[in-house]
């Protein structure tokens, strides 16, 4: 059997465009005897962790990637002309640094470049290219598009630019077996370009569904995406039923003249090695916007909040034991600091403040967070834990080395303590 793995695959996380569920993808990958598989969803990494965990458990090597949308000019340019000139580019995370850069790109695409699609630009790609492998993508890629326009000079120029961006042996010309007539023309041009410019080829199939029979279901997804019906003759419709997860033998029969493009998929997959640490908490850092440390800022905000809530407590119950409240507060502040959660509390408090100021319902709090006096002082919850006899250690317990009332390896305060409606 020819050596081949799929490096261009769209799962359900390519919303209303990918019709492949991760469990089914891994089942068929194993059935085909493929040692690895990639996911390259459009503009997002939302499925990366689920895919990595399930693939690893199934004994299949996971390759995490993304099909990015490249803006014609700047990602900040929000014009209709720019949206029509979007180009696709496949990015695969080769190293941990590459995965972090892929996350940076996907985040910027959503927060900075979003205009109908999540977009990046060439400037950002240049900045975040380390540790990434690039592939020229489908007919909507920049190089295939220039080929179809008859501008081989621009196609060559784009190839040289991508080669300079990623580096030697980290950018590949992607030839596909997808049943589209224009693709045949592009494939021949890419093969010729590979010889002229010494840019290696890689084979793919741009999989959007698992089997040929799923093409109808995928077509319905496209209709939902575009707000059309299947009977609309003017709607978006893929002109092929070949975008399925093909076995290696079928790919080999098509690419018999370029077997190196098949075997190179396995080589690329083997180079993409990522390990994730699920035992360490990875919380974002709170920006104090000044010289004050996060810990000092956390304590200052908490104690200021304490004075406000104690005024309410005394108004309701003049006999309340303030010393008991202060002792509990000092203890909780110490635990939160020792366990490294000040940033987490400040960020959650900021979310809750933002919601309350805009009339967004958040509720009084739920789960074990209601047992925290610190959470009450910061406005995260609206329950007095001492008046209600609630226990802080159900939330954070330094003796248990975990948070949120659970000992699972992925536990965190958010797991069971997130304030909610």
DSSP state of 36: E
Give CA separation, 10 vs 115, 154, 172, 218, 312, in Å. 21, 28, 19, 11, 55
What average pLDDT does the segment 366-370 reach? 87
Q: Which structure tokens are listed for 107? A: 């985040």
- Please state the domain extents for the chain: 22-271, 294-417
pLDDT band at 404 (very low <50, low <70, confident <90, very high): low
Q: Residue 354: what pLDDT?
A: 96
301 three-state secondary structure: helix
CATH architecture of 22-271: Alpha-Beta Barrel (3.20)
User: Is the pLDDT assigned to residue 411 strictly greater than 70?
Assistant: no
Q: Taking a C-beta distance cutoff of 8 angstroms, is the pair 31, 3 a contact?
A: no
Phi, psi (deg, nearest 5) at residue 41: -70, 155
Element (H, E) at 120: strand 119-120
Q: Taking a C-beta distance cutoff of 8 angstroms, is the pair 24, 213 a contact?
A: no
73 three-state secondary structure: coil
Q: Which structure tokens are listed for 253? A: 């029969």
Block residue for tokens 């797991």? 415
Q: How far is CA 305 from the centre of its chain?
A: 36
Q: Which structure tokens are listed for 371? A: 């047992």
pLDDT band at 416 (very low <50, low <70, confident <90, very high): very low
Percent of the chain with pLDDT over 90: 76
pTM of the model: 0.80
């Amino acid at each position: 059997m020819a050596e081949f793995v799929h490096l261009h695959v769209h799962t359900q996380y390519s919303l209303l465009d990918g019709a492949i569920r991760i469990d089914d993808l891994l089942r068929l990958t194993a059935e085909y005897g493929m040692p690895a598989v990639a996911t390259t969803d459009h503009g997002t990494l939302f499925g990366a962790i689920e895919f990595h965990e399930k693939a690893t458990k199934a004994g299949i090597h996971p390759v995490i990637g993304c099909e990015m949308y490249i803006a014609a000019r700047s990602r900040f340019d929000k014009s209709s002309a720019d949206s029509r000139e979007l180009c696709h580019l496949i990015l695969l995370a080769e190293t941990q640094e590459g995965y972090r850069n892929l996350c940076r790109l996907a985040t910027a695409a959503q927060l900075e470049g979003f205009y109908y699609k999540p977009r990046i630009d060439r400037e950002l790609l240049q900045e975040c290219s380390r540790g990434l492998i690039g592939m020229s993508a489908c007919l909507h890629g920049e190089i295939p598009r220039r080929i179809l326009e008859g501008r081989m000079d621009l196609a060559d120029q784009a190839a040289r630019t991508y080669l300079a961006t990623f580096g030697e042996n980290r950018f590949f010309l992607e030839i596909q077996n997808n049943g589209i007539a224009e693709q045949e023309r592009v494939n021949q041009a890419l093969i010729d370009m590979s010889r002229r410019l010494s840019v290696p080829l890689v084979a793919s199939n741009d999989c959007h569904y698992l089997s040929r029979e799923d093409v109808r279901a995928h077509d319905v997804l496209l209709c939902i995406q575009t707000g059309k019906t299947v009977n609309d003759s003017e709607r978006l419709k893929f002109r092929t039923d070949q975008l399925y997860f093909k076995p290696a033998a079928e790919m080999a029969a098509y690419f018999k003249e370029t077997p190196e493009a098949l075997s190179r998929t396995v080589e690329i997959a083997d180079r993409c090695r990522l390990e994730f640490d699920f035992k360490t908490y990875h919380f974002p850092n709170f920006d104090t916007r000044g010289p004050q440390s996060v810990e000092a800022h956390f304590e200052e905000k908490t104690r200021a909040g304490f004075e406000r809530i104690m005024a309410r407590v005394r108004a309701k119950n003049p006999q309340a034991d303030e010393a008991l409240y202060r002792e509990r507060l000092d203890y909780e502040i110490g635990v939160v600091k020792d366990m490294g959660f000040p940033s987490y509390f400040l960020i959650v408090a900021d979310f809750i403040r933002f919601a309350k100021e805009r009339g967004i319902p958040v509720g009084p709090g739920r789960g074990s967070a209601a047992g925290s006096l610190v959470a009450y002082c910061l406005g995260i919850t609206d329950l007095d834990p001492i008046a209600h006899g609630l226990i802080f250690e159900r939330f954070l317990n330094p003796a248990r080395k975990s948070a949120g009332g659970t000992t699972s390896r992925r536990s965190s305060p958010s797991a069971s303590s997130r304030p909610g409606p």
